[in-house]
Structure 1
Amino acid sequence: MLSLLGLLGGLALLIVLTIRGTNLFIAAPLCALIVALTSSIPVFVGDSNFVTLYMQGFAGFIASWFFMFLLGALFGKFMQDCGAADAVSHWIVGKLGRQNAVIAVILACAILTYGGVSLFVVAFSVYPMAVSLFKDANLPRRFIPAVLAFGSVTFTMTSAGSPEIQNWIPIKFLGTSPFAAWEVSLVVALFMATFGYWWCKRMINAAVANGECFEHQAHDPVIVERKLPHPITGIVPLLVVLVLSFLLHDSLQQLALIVALGGGVLVLVAINYRYFLNIQEAINVGTTGALVAIGNTAAVVGFGSIAKSTDAFQTAVELMTQIPG
């Protein structure tokens, strides 16, 4: 009983601390320590002590996913620095028109994330345009985060074939491919996209009907006027990532994503080199972002390593696996 309370309490505390902005390098080990103490896991003594178990999970995740995070961060940062992400976004807006601000922002995010651009980079790339579109359409700005999140972290994040790590991490454990059950995935993605868009529009229309409108802020981003590459130079690297991951998965398995992202980075640099603002700075920022992202994720994975070593977790797994279906 104490083990179960410690597990649930540690998880709840981790969520609360994360929401409050506590650094995950502090929050995750602290919460994991609470779980360990309530489950009689020794802190320092023995082979299966807290420090050893936590660091096995932490280091194991970095060893498995470092190159994916690094190449993904570089790919996304390069898309941003050379203007390819902006070019794709502008092209979508030009085709749909500013009157369709919501769907334009969603599609811009969806195409970039499904092509392998990190959702963090997508948010930074599309946000200035989203502010401009919502301003022209006089829509409440408080819905911009919802529209950005819907377009980048929902139906494209886990759809079959997506090069995002959320779609690739389970492959190692389930023995499947990134295109597994694509028929079901297509149906689910279409449902998520249509229902989510309808729900966003419903909330925004209700807010407009109540008199809400766009509110200007002093720190609103300004879209810098610069010569952008042709939109096709932003689409081609995305296609390279998708095609390589599809062709090489059977032979390289999880390593196919490294080759796919690496190929996307090389193609992106080759066709857009003259549009880069500062490629060296882009490399520095991208690698730093990759280290922070994988470090934060690994910190939580370390918490999971402690959690799965508890009696309460094993009991929960046994109960779940006995459920029919």
Structure 2
Amino acid sequence: MIFSMIGLIGGLTLLIVLTMRGMNLLIAAPLSTLFLAVFSGIPLFPQLVGDGDPNMLGNYMQGFSGFVANWFIMFLLGSIFGKVMGDARAADSVSKFVVDKLGTKYAIMAVVAACAILTYGGVSLFIVGFSVFPLALSLFKQANLPRRFIPATLAFGSVTFTMTSAGSPEIQNWIPIEFLGTTAYAAWQVSAIVALFMIVFGYWWLKKIIYRAVAKGESFDVREGDPVVEERELPNPLLAAIPLLVVLVISFIFHDSLGTSALIIALTSGIVAAWALNRKYLDNVWESASGGDNGCAASHYEYSCCCWIRSSCSANNGLYGSG
């Protein structure tokens, strides 16, 4: 059990370190899983075990192919929806509206709120980052806040409470449905309390560390080549936000009857709504779809690698294997 725990924690740590240092995920993931398999006592090849017995290669392929089969369409539609929202400038319009309303005085809150609205509406993280980062940079510059905290602010607004809160169309909230037999709105009362705690505590802590740095003399660091907020025509923010509401409403209507398949209808409806309401700003919807497909491939492989580690670990009965 001790060695299995070391393998699990070490494998995940190795995956994070290698990818953070720039290693291609196609290489980092197999190395991390190999580390896990060795420490957990899992044979590497199916030829080394009997029929049906666990092995690293076989269990990884099962987890990888199973995940692709179950979730590829959701990833594809989610990526296309985010790309269409980005290319149609709808994501820019929504984020700029929120930032303008809150202003420099509430710079941190404005960035968090803009990210939260977009991600809870189903827009992919890549699009949220590209849409909000220039606005965050401008706000932090005007408020003279240390720029090194911009990534933390973007991350807090986009990858915390909005990812797992009840009703979120993000894939992290929908993957457990088929395994737990629940819905996207399961235990929404508890989810609301947890989300509120994350918002309040996270925002308090974020402000605390930023203003502590300011008190020590840190300020905004201007760098050559910083992106600027372009002055260009944007869609009406209310019209731009409608596709986000469409995704949420459609997923709510069909989540009981269709389960995870409700997300397919919801995201497809969001794509159609984004195109119909903002087609004036969308040069070529098929180019956006192609761009979304490329983003889907990258995102899908990242999640599949996590399934690789999970399936390899479960092949040895989780943390209770040999060792």
TM-score (norm 1): 0.91
- Equivalent residue of 2:162, what SS? coil
SS in 2 for 1:157: helix
Map 1:179-198 onto structure 2 (within 5 A). Answer: 179-198=185-204
Measured in 1, the distance between the counterparts of 2:247 and 2:149 equals 31
- Residue 258 of structure 1 deviates from its aligned partner by 0.8
Question: Which position in structure 2 is the counterpart of 1:266?
Answer: 272
Following the alignment from structure 1 to structure 2, what is the Cα–Cα distance between the partners of residues 147 and 12?
A: 24
Tell me the equivalent position of 2:63. 57
SS of the equivalent of 1:176 reads: coil
| Aligned counterparts of 1:312 and 1:116: Cα–Cα separation in 2 | 32
Structure 1 gaps, min length 5: 317-325
CA-CA distance at 1:311 after TM superposition:
4.9
Work out whether residues 245 and 256 of structure 1, in 8 Å CA contact, stay in contact via their aligned partners in 2.
Answer: yes
Conserved? CA contact 1:115–1:163, under 8 Å: yes
| Cα pair distance change 1:184/1:311, threshold 3 Å | closer
Q: 5 Å matches for 1:85-234?
A: 85-234=91-240
Alignment partner of 1:41 out of 25, 40, 43 = 43
Tell me the residue number matched to 2:311.
Answer: 305
Q: Which runs of 4+ in 1 moved over 6 A?
A: none
Residues 162-215 of structure 1: CA deviation (Å, up to 9, x unaligned)? 011111111111111111111111111111111111111111211222221111
1:276 is aligned to 2:282: yes
- Determine the structure 2 residue equivalent to 1:81: 87
Preserved contact between residue 169 and residue 247 of structure 2 (Cα < 8 Å): yes
Most deviating of 199-208 and 126-135: 199-208
- Alignment partners' CA distance in 1, 2:192 and 2:245: 18
1:272-314 CA-to-partner distances (Å, cap 9, x unmatched) read 1111144333222211010111012112211221111115624
Q: Secondary structure of the residue that 2:161 maps to in structure 1?
A: coil
Partner of 2:14: 13
Tell me the SS of whatever aligns to 1:179: coil
Alpha-carbon RMSD = 1.9
1:69 to 2:82 alignment: no
* Structure 2: segments with no counterpart, 5+ residues: none
Distance change (3 Å), C-alpha of 1:118 and 1:40: closer
Distance apart, 1:134 and its partner CA:
0.8
Is 1:292 aligned with 2:293? no
> Are the structure 2 counterparts of residues 275 and 180 from structure 1 closer, same or farther at C-alpha, using a change threshold of 3 Å?
same
Deviation at 1:95, TM superposition (A): 1.6
TM-score (norm 2): 0.92
Cα 1:40–1:137 change in 2 (3 A) is: closer
Conserved 8 A contact 2:76-2:292: yes
Per-residue Cα deviation, 1:5-48 (whole angstroms, up to 9, x for no partner): 54444343333323323222212222223333441424141544
> C-alpha separation between the residues in 2 aligned to 1:280 and 1:178?
30
Aligned residues: 316
